[in-house]
Structures are given as structure tokens and as C-alpha cells.
Structure 1
Amino acid sequence: MSELLALDNVSAGYGESVVLEGISLALNEGDSLALLGRNGVGKTSLLVTLMGLTRLHGGSIRWRGQDIARVPTYKRAHAGLGWVPQERMMYPSLTVEEHLTVVARPGEWNLQKIYEIFPRLKERRANMGNQLSGGEQQMLAIARALMINPSLLLLDEPMEGLAPIIVQELMRVIARLVSHGGMSVIVVEQHARLALSLTQKAIVLDRGRIVHQSDSASLLQDKEKLDRLVAVAA
């Protein structure tokens, strides 16, 4: 498959502060990647760097072979980068359906397909975004990103703070996105084994640098190495 995203020796941060150093990675069309590491090592900073929300201190970011270092966030979204931030960003003045239709772009994902994989959202389509439970808000955040029909979906801690039954439902949806093969996915997740079970490739960050790269299956099988790298027991 053709290369979708490539970072070459990227250093980035906030103002003069450098959070990420020497990051190099590549994703092809349809790849899925687990982005792992302890709290505060730069996982979210890497996602927001991809969206153009940090200061790039060095290196290059290529999207389908084109340098996007100076491309604004909204143009990256239009080019096919879909982002689901931790904060979810629900708008109290919009219904569930309005959250979805206001960002919709032509493509495979439409209201019918969203309601097929998230039947709860169909049931709550007339409710305001801030009237949903935490799990329903996370479903809506993912669904809203899908409605722009992205080529790459960035998921930042999608399971955080959710009930086990909701986690299982979201895992099913993410697994479907990955297995479909038409969309690349990067998952930032504290539950390392969960993220590895959903993806093909894995990267572990420590202090803003990549300290491990492998396929997800081999890291998942090496319990000692995984626990040492991410210090997460579950």
C-alpha cells in the first residue's frame, strides 16, 4: 500500500518548550498503530502535532508525500485527518444529529451508517450533546470524526473513564474500522493490551522519544517487555 503519513526526525512542543524529539515514523494506507507510554511522555502531543496545534521545532511531516508543516488545522481535517480529542468537545447548543451533519463531508460514512454502528446515537439524535452520558459523548465524538470521512483517524484515550460495557462497544467499533482496511487509525490508550489487541503496529514513547517500535502482536505476547516499557499491568 502507498505511504499515507511520514514523520522524519520531528521535534515539537509548546512555545519554546520541546516535548517531542527525533520522532520518525511512517504509516501506509490502512495501517493501524497503538501509541503507548506512561502519562506525560508526549502521546497526546504527538497527535496534536499531527493536527498542527504545536510548534514544530525541526523535522518534517508529510501527508501523501506533501509537506504539511505549515498547513493549518482545518485544511489538515479537509485533507483527511480526523481527530477525537480526550475532551470530546460537545456543543450544548447542538443536538446529536446536528453534531454529525454540521461537519459531514461526502464519502462512505453518512448518518445511516453512523446510526448502524452506534444505535444509541440514533435513539438520542434529538438530545443535546451535553445531555448524553460520558460513554454516549465518546460515541458521538468518534461518530463526528467519521462524518468527515477521514483517511486517518486519531483516537486520544477513547476508553478513558468509561464503564466496561461501553468499552466493549467501542472496542467492537474500532476493531471494525481497523479490519475494514480503508482507514488508517492511531490509538493512544493507557490500557496497553487493549490497544495492542486492536492494532497492527506499536510505538512506545518515553520522555518525548520513541523507545520501541514493533508489530502489536509480538509486543502483546512479551509481557515482561510490555510491562517494563509502559508500566501498566492491565
Structure 2
Amino acid sequence: MRELLAVEKVSAGYGESIVLEDVSFAMNEGDSLALLGRNGVGKTSLLVTLMGITRLHRGAIRWDGGDLAKVPTWKRSRAGLGWVPQERHMFPTLTVEEHLTVVARPGPWTLQKVYEVFPRLLERRQNMGNELSGGEQQMLAIARALMTNPRILLLDEPMEGLAPIIVQELVRVVRRLVKDEGMSVIVVEQHARLALSLTERAIVLDRGRIVHDSDSASLLADGDKLDRLVSVA
């Protein structure tokens, strides 16, 4: 498999404050990664560092062999990093369909395919972004990222605060992306067991450093270790 993303001894943060320290990992095309850890350990900071929003103090980030260090966020998106932020960022004056078409780039993910994955969005295609429920907004945020035809999808807490029936639907979608579509995915998720069930590999952060790196199945099978690492019940 071709290497898609390489993070090499990265230290990064906000201004002079360093949040991530000496972080290294790599992903090939089609890999799926659960990014786990307690609140405030740097999971979201790692995603936004990949998008170029933090300050890179040391280390390197390579994308498809090229250096990302000085590449602006919008060019990273065009290069194939699809980011679904925790805040969703809906535009109140755009319809669902406008949210999708305004970012569309050539590739297999078309409006028709997105609507097939998210039939509820087809039903709501003429509604404004602020007229959607929280679950529908999350569907739209993921669908909008897919319309950019990303090579890797960065999901930041995609299940947070959603009703169980919506969580089930989003789990189905993420599983399809990983298993059927072969999309590279990084999932930041507080529900560690759920994230592990969706991915092949797991990294656990603590105080901005990687403290565990293994396949997801083995960590999921070792409940005691998982509890110690991420404090889940």
C-alpha cells in the first residue's frame, strides 16, 4: 500500500504553547485509525495540526510524499484532507444541497451517491442549514466533506451528543466508508469501544504524547488496558 500520511516527531500547539509533543505515526491508503484519549490530551489539536491551523514547532508532516508544513488549510483540503470539525459549521443561509454543491470536486462522491448514503438529506435538500436537527447537521457535515472527494477523512467526535438512533446510522456510514469504500479515516471519539469497532488501528494520546499504538482489535479485547488508557467504563 502507498503511504499517504506521515507525521514525524511533531510538536505543535497554539502560539508559544505546545500541546502535541514528539508525535509520530504513518498511514497508508485505505488505513483506518482510532485516535483515543481522555479529554484535553490533544486529539482535536492533532487533527487541526494536520489541517494547518496550529503552529508547528518541530517535526514534519508529509502528504503523499510532499511536505505540508507551509501549505495553507484550503490547499490541504484540495489535496485530499477532508475535515469534519466537532462544531459542524453550518451556514444558515445555504440549503442542504447548496452546502454540498458549493464544495463539490471531481471524483466518485457525487450528489447522487451522497444522497444514497444519507437519504434523510435528500428529503431535506431544500432546508437551510440552521433548520436541521443536530443529527442531520452531522450527516450534512460528513456529506459535505465527502463531496470534496477526500483521500482521508478526519472525523472529530462525530457521535457526540446525538440520539442513539442517529449514532447507529452514522456508525453504518463510517463502517461503509472504511470497509466497502476503502477510505482512509481518522476517528476522534470519546466512545472508545465504538471507535475501535470501526477501525483497524488505534493510537492513544496522553498529555500530547502517544502512549499506546496497536491494532484496534487487540486493544478492544484487553478491557483492563483500555480502561487504564482512556478511563472508560
Paired residue for 2:86? 86
Which residue in 2 is equivalent to 1:212? 212
Q: Which amino acid aligns with 2:160?
A: E
Q: Distance in 2 between matches of 1:42 and 1:69?
A: 19
Which residue is equivalent to 2:51?
51
Matched, 1:145 2:149: no
Aligned to 1:194: 194
For 1:98, the aligned partner's letter is E
Q: Tell me which residue corresponds to 2:66.
A: 66
Count matched residues: 233
TM-score w.r.t. length of structure 2: 0.99
Shift of 1:232: 1.2
SS in 1 for 2:227: helix
Partners of 1:27 and 1:53 in 2: CA distance: 21
C-alpha displacement at 1:181, in angstroms? 4.7
* RMSD of aligned alpha carbons: 0.5
Q: Which amino acid is the alignment partner of residue 203 of structure 1?
A: I
Question: Is 1:42 equivalent to 2:60 in the alignment?
Answer: no
Matched residue, 2:169: 169
1:183 CA displacement:
1.7
Matched, 1:24 2:24: yes
TM-score, normalised via structure 1 length: 0.99
Q: Which residue of 2 aligns with 1:135?
A: 135
**Counterparts of 1:107 and 1:165, CA distance in 2:** 30
Which runs of 5 or more residues in structure 2 are unaligned?
none
Question: Match of 2:29, as an amino acid?
Answer: E
Q: Deviations over 1:97-133 (max 9, x none)?
A: 0000000000000110011010000000000000000
The whole-number CA distance in structure 2 between the counterparts of 1:84 and 1:191 is: 17
The unaligned stretches of length 5 or more in structure 1 are: none
Alpha-carbon distance between aligned partners in 1 of 2:209 and 2:120, rounded to the nearest angstrom: 39
2:146 is the counterpart of 1:180: no
Per-residue CA deviations over 1:155-204 (Å, capped at 9, x if unaligned) read: 00000000000000000000000012532000000000000000000000
1:109 is aligned to: 109
CA distance in 2, matches of 1:87, 1:181: 26
1:46 deviation in Å?
Answer: 0.1
